[in-house]
Amino acid sequence: MDRSALTRTVRGLWDDDILPSLSALVAVPAISPIFDPAWASHGHLAAAVEHVRAWLADRDLPGTTVEVVQLPDRTPLLLVDVPGTAPTSDTVLLYGHLDKQPPVGGWGEGLGPWTPVVRDGRLYGRGAADDGYSGYAAIAAIEGVRRAGGTHSRCVVLLETGEESGSPDLPAYLDHLRPRLGDVSLVVCLDSGGNDYDRMWLTTSLRGLAQVTMTVRVLESGLHSGMASGIVPSSFRIARQLLDRLEDSATGEVLVREMHVDIPEHRVAEVRDAVASTPGVLVGSVPWAAGTQPMGEDEVELALNAGWRPTLSVTGASGLPEPDDAGNVLRPFTTLVLSFRLPPTADSKAAIEAVRRALTTDVPYGAAVELSRVEFADGWNAPELAPWLRETLDRVGKEVFDAPWRTVALGGSIPFMGLLHEAYPRAQFLVTGAVGPDSNCHVPDEWLHLAHAARITEAVAVVLDAHAHRGVER
């Protein structure tokens, strides 16, 4: 494959074809279904799918089929089937999503969630980095391989519209499409990123999730605190006691045994390499309130906390009036949303059952505890890299980035990865992306590093060509 031709092709596609269409996609308020229950009638998800479909229909990829797939009462999915140019019978599956997080307020001057703005090599707007660019990058990588004289196996690009809602429709689509996907030997996911924009980052693990809403009720209705306090126990105090069963409030250590795992030694070594390559990034990219310190000084331990150890965040509350509305009332109940991030290999079902026992057994004062909105999902630990893929990544690091590739244990979750790993246990996984530590995904001023996205596209093209030649003398 002519590497110079590949570089020229990919950069030209980003400048001339991708950026204008991706900018228009940013303007579509395709909010994920969990944040927009009326998504079907609003039509924004369908509009995003149609926008990308129209762009794909104009690509010069002979034999390619572009299809909108929509099962009854489910969000739409865009499926692109590109025939291979290599004599292989397997499939490369390239994944991304077109749904977006809510807009939220507080965007910078001249910026907005649905207003695409290009500044200093960055494309601002909701969905630019997470994850609207991915479908464009996947197709550009395939086109780049062809124009540079390389070859690739059959490629299927799958763009869903429910990822930000936890991909609830994806299992049904995988079952529906399984006969059409064939023998998937490589999965490429572009919905990730890393610690800087100087190298390629591989996500090698994703944490799982256990979440529950806990309500502690002590009264049927509120009472005057001057008359009831000292007689009726505070629902908030009981909630604090129950939380003490789950977490050490002094250190943040989660006390639920079922949530802990042994961290593989090779993952610890990867974390050390990553921290050494980008010292200070983990702490420096956080918008600390004045005087706040991190949970430790050792960045390796902090990275392991964020990728391989369980954590608890209280992400919501009810039963607490706003300060201006708070009278002298002993409140009848306190509700807290408890969100645990689990190690990649932890059993999420066992974890949530342990939480249920801890919160409902021997409750102080016999208070009523109700658990609702229970949710749990396993994490994902990537399979070992095949020699051909590791060698290709080494080459990509030298030729595309001039910096060695590194790995990241991502604290979030991408449900699709676990589903695909279960469906195709022998497949290799390349989970990467153009997102950096300050790309502002999910928050105001989301932006995509355009040059880095082009480099990631070129890297994927090199991997596609290498995949088609694996096991063949080069």
Q: Do 294 and 327 contact (CB within 8 A), yes or no?
A: no
Tell me, what amino acid is at 34? I
* Residue 78 Rama label (left phi>0; alpha psi -120 to 50; beta): beta
pTM of the model: 0.89
List the structure tokens of 43: 């039509």
Q: What is the pLDDT of residue 468?
A: 96
Give the C-alpha distances (Å, rounded to integers) separating 308 from 12, 345, 409, 416. 40, 9, 7, 19
Q: What are phi and psi of 26, to 5 degrees?
A: -55, -35
Q: Is there a contact between 335 and 373 (Cβ–Cβ < 8 Å)?
A: no
Each residue's pLDDT tens digit, 253-270 = 999 999 999 999 999 999
φ, ψ for residue 184, nearest 5 deg: -80, 115
Residue 472: what pLDDT? 54
pLDDT 10s digits, 15-51: 999 999 999 999 999 999 999 999 999 999 999 999 9
Examine the pLDDT at 173 and tell me if it is beyond 50. yes
Q: Is pLDDT above 90 for 419?
A: no
Q: Give the C-alpha distances (Å, rounded to integers) separating 470 from 338, 397, 437, 463.
A: 46, 18, 33, 10
367-398 pLDDT tens trace: 999 999 999 989 999 999 999 999 999 999 99
Q: Is the pLDDT of residue 473 over 50?
A: no
Taking residues 244-248, what's their average pLDDT? 98
Using one digit for the tens of pLDDT, what is the confidence trace for 331-347? Answer: 999 999 999 999 999 99
User: Has residue 116 got a pLDDT over 60?
Assistant: yes
Residue 452: burial class (beta carbons within 10 Å; 0-12, 13-18, 19+): buried
Q: Is the pLDDT of residue 417 over 90?
A: no
Given a cut of 90, whether residue 200 has pLDDT beyond it is yes
Q: Are the C-beta atoms of 105 and 415 separated by less than 8 Å? A: no
**Interval 395-421 mean pLDDT:** 89
Judged against a pLDDT cut of 80, whether residue 412 lies above it is answered with no
Contact in structure between 213 and 356 (CB atoms under 8 Å): no
Residues in contact with 213: Cβ distance below 8 Å, sequence separation at least 6, in sequence order: 316, 335, 336, 337, 338, 371, 372, 373, 374
pLDDT number for residue 416: 75
Per the prediction, the chain carries an average pLDDT of 95
Q: Is residue 413's pLDDT more than 90?
A: no
What's the rounded mean pLDDT across residues 57-63?
93
How far is CA 409 from each of CA 127, 412, 434, 474, rounded to the nearest angstrom? 23, 9, 16, 33
Helix pair angle (133-147, 450-469), 10° resolution: 50
Q: For residue range 141-152, what is the model confidence (pLDDT) as tens digits?
A: 999 999 999 999
Q: Residue 348 carries which side chain, given as an amino acid letter?
A: S
Q: Evaluate if residue 474 carries a pLDDT over 70.
A: no
**φ, ψ (nearest 5 deg) of residue 132:** -60, -30
Give the pLDDT band (50/70/90) at residue 209. Answer: very high
Q: What is the pLDDT, as a whole number, of residue 94?
A: 97
